[in-house]
Amino acid sequence: MSKELAETRAPLWTISSRVVVFAAVGAALYAVLGVISIRIPGTQNVDIRPAFALVAFIGLRFGPIAGLFTGLVGNMIIDQIQGYGILTYWNWSVANGLTGFLCGLVGAVLLARANREVVRLVLVAVLSWIAMFLAFLSTITDMWLQGLTLEAWAATAFGATLLSNSLVMLILVPALDAIWEPISKRMGR
């Protein structure tokens, strides 16, 4: 994110029509594209979901509120479409939302300081991965909700998710950001 972009960005907690639109569009895109995924055998319903990159991207570019909404609502819709219901894996929807929220927080604070594109893209990858890692630690609640042991949660749920989401965070989020940067400059944002 360029310095000009950081200067025109609204305060983090502002709920403007822009934030609402990007949150709704982000959640809808994530829900539709999130159905396209590859199940990892031997896990607790863990998928490689390329659309998850949208959660971090929306958070980084449009703030924590848009990121939270995109991840939370988008994942709830995906669960509903896939037949799990909205509340079956609610903690995973919360983890998706937290990822977007944390990306929005760190994106606003740290990415504005990146003065070269390569540095910005590396920061995007690293920060989105850290946000995802921290957010998905919240799924430890599966130990109580699903009756898993710590070892089972770490191996079949958290570890598998960490692996599949790492691919998305380290490759697709920087790619989306690299594509968006020139567009946002042309829009004057």
Does residue 178 contact residue 58 with C-beta atoms inside 8 Å? Answer: no
Choose the CATH number for 3-187 among 1.10.3080.10, 1.10.1760.20, 3.30.70.890, 1.20.210.10: 1.10.1760.20
Does residue 104 contact residue 60 with C-beta atoms inside 8 Å? Answer: yes
pLDDT tens column, 91-125? 999 999 999 999 999 887 777 777 888 988 999 99
Where do the DSSP E strands lie in the chain? 38-39, 47-48
| Domain chopping of the chain, boundaries | 3-187
What residues form DSSP beta bridges with 48? 38
Say which residue the tokens 């709830």 belong to.
76
What residues form DSSP beta bridges with 39? 47
pLDDT tens column, 116-159? 889 889 999 999 999 999 999 999 998 888 888 999 899 888 98
pTM: 0.87
For 58, list phi and psi in degrees, rounded to 5. Answer: -60, -40
